[in-house]
Amino acid sequence: MKLKDKPLASFEIDVQWGDMDSMRHVNNIIYLKWVESARLNLFKKIIDHKIIHNIEISPILAWQDIKYIRPIVYPDKIKVTYDIIKIEDDRLHGRAEIYSINQNKLMAISDNILKAFNTVSFKKEMIPEKWKKIIIDYYSN
């Protein structure tokens, strides 16, 4: 899949003073919270967000890592983008990128694996064709 200039999901947020730790930069866990928010924006695109709490097949985070490239400090505004970089039958490979708007630089990259989970049987499922179609159509246009 070829990524677009416009990511599948993204958002911007002001860095809060309370996001920083005693080392005077944004605490590492905050980066992962930002990635989580971008991932939720993705979920809203592939699932009818009006019924997101009452669906049988739900996307879940199976694995993630993060590479911290540069520290983020207050004050700043960041942009988080999220794209699906690979589709397999039983998983989606996602990548989030965190950019500093003030520094105009990439600050961190987080790779994720998402799986489909049946909330009734509590078992993993194959990735629904509807999700695949939404993703493929987005990158094809």
- DSSP symbols for 34-47: HHHHHHHHHHHHHT
pLDDT digits (tens, 9 = 90+) for 12-67: 999 999 999 999 999 999 999 999 999 999 988 888 655 556 678 889 999 999 99
Residue 2 has pLDDT above 60, yes or no: no
Q: Which CATH number fits the domain that encloses residue 61? A: 3.10.129.10
Is 2 part of any domain?
A: no
Is 127 part of any domain?
A: yes
- Residue 130 belongs to what domain range? 9-140
Instruction: Tell me the two tokens of residue 63.
Output: 């694995």
Q: What is the DSSP letter of 74?
A: S
User: How wide is the angle at C-alpha 34 spanned by C-alphas 86 and 30, nearest 5°?
Assistant: 125
Is 59 part of any domain?
A: yes
Predicted TM-score (pTM) of this structure: 0.91
Collapse the DSSP code of 51 into the 3-class scheme (helix H, G, I; strand E, B; otherwise coil) and give the result.
Answer: helix
**Total number of domains constituting the chain:** 1
pLDDT digits (tens, 9 = 90+) for 109-127: 999 999 999 989 999 999 9
Is 1 part of any domain?
A: no
Residues 6+ apart with CB under 8 A from 98: 31, 34, 35, 72, 78, 79, 80, 106, 107, 108, 109, 110
Per-residue confidence (pLDDT) for residue 1, from 0 to 100: 42
* Residues 122, 57: Cα–Cα separation, whole Å: 10
The residue assigned the tokens 């879940």 is: 60
